[in-house]
Amino acid sequence: MFGNYLVGLREGLEASLVVVILVAYLVKSDRRHLLPRIWLGVAAAVGVSLAFGALLTYGPNGLTFEAQEAIGGGLSIVAVGFVTWMIFWMARSARTLSGDLKSHVDRAAEASRASLVVVAMLAVGREGLETALFLWAATQAASSASSSSTAPLVGAALGITTAVVLAFAFYKGALKLNLSKFFTWTGGFLILVAAGVLAYGVHDLQEARILPGLHNLAFDVSDTIEPTSWLGTLLKGTLNFSPATTWLELIVWVSYVAVVMTIFVKRVRASHNPKAATRASTTPQKVTA
């Protein structure tokens, strides 16, 4: 529940900030009459994301065990790819996000009536689809040690709800937060979560007999850390840790964390050096409008 709460918070805040920027810019530029188009686009994006999540949840039912595992493993790997790209995209684009969205709004407002709806739908829908896919993969992984998926789903819903409340507070000016530090720390944690989802996806593909080594265990600490114990549940829910891990899962987990975390840390450090700071001073510094 806690791991999916943080994922929902991080992903939900990104999507919510996009809405805040769009709405605030139209209000400040005295174009309130265009707000219904924004909300229509947001509603369409939410509807598509929910439908996508339902398709992921109920679509594989009725398939053979191997087919379900193959689809689950493949989608988990795709989800990790999307969330990895998102982490680096937000780290790179956070400073210019507001300006980019404003320019899109200006062009859409001068075009057809549907253009602004499409802008809002695409801006929010991209985040929504990525969130639905990654939360589905994370929930599947966290629920594999439990017969119920209620807790992960509740955690994700609470995280998204918190994100919406925070975004509303930003809009009203009641809350100020260093978004650079927020996305840095949550990005680092999300890398660890994604590594667990990736390892889980590999395990699914092993169970589907697509990848070898299902019975070649690197370690098995099930006697020490029982999967149903509080520690096993905590580690599984946050980092997708498996007490019985195959060599291929371990290699994939370590390789992903070593490569992605190294690149992420280097980019974070580079963004704080004097030259980067000088270049950044010529671009908008606030994410909110």
Model pLDDT for residues 134-168, shown as the tens digit of each residue: 777 777 766 655 545 577 778 888 888 998 888 88
Which has the closest alpha carbon to 21: 92, 93, 81? 93
Q: How many CB atoms lie within 10 A of CB 119?
A: 21
Mapped onto helix, strand or coil, the DSSP state of residue 217 is: strand
Partner residues linked to 245 by β-bridges: 219
Assess contact for 257 and 149: CB atoms under 8 A.
no
Which pTM does this prediction carry? 0.68
Residue 283 above 50 pLDDT? no
pLDDT for the residue 277: 44
Confidence (pLDDT) at 256: 95
Closest CA to 204 of 17, 104, 70: 70
Mean pLDDT, the chain, whole residue set: 78
Structure tokens at 181: 């530090």
Q: Kindly report, residue by residue over 251-277, the tens digit of the pLDDT.
A: 999 999 999 999 999 888 876 664 544
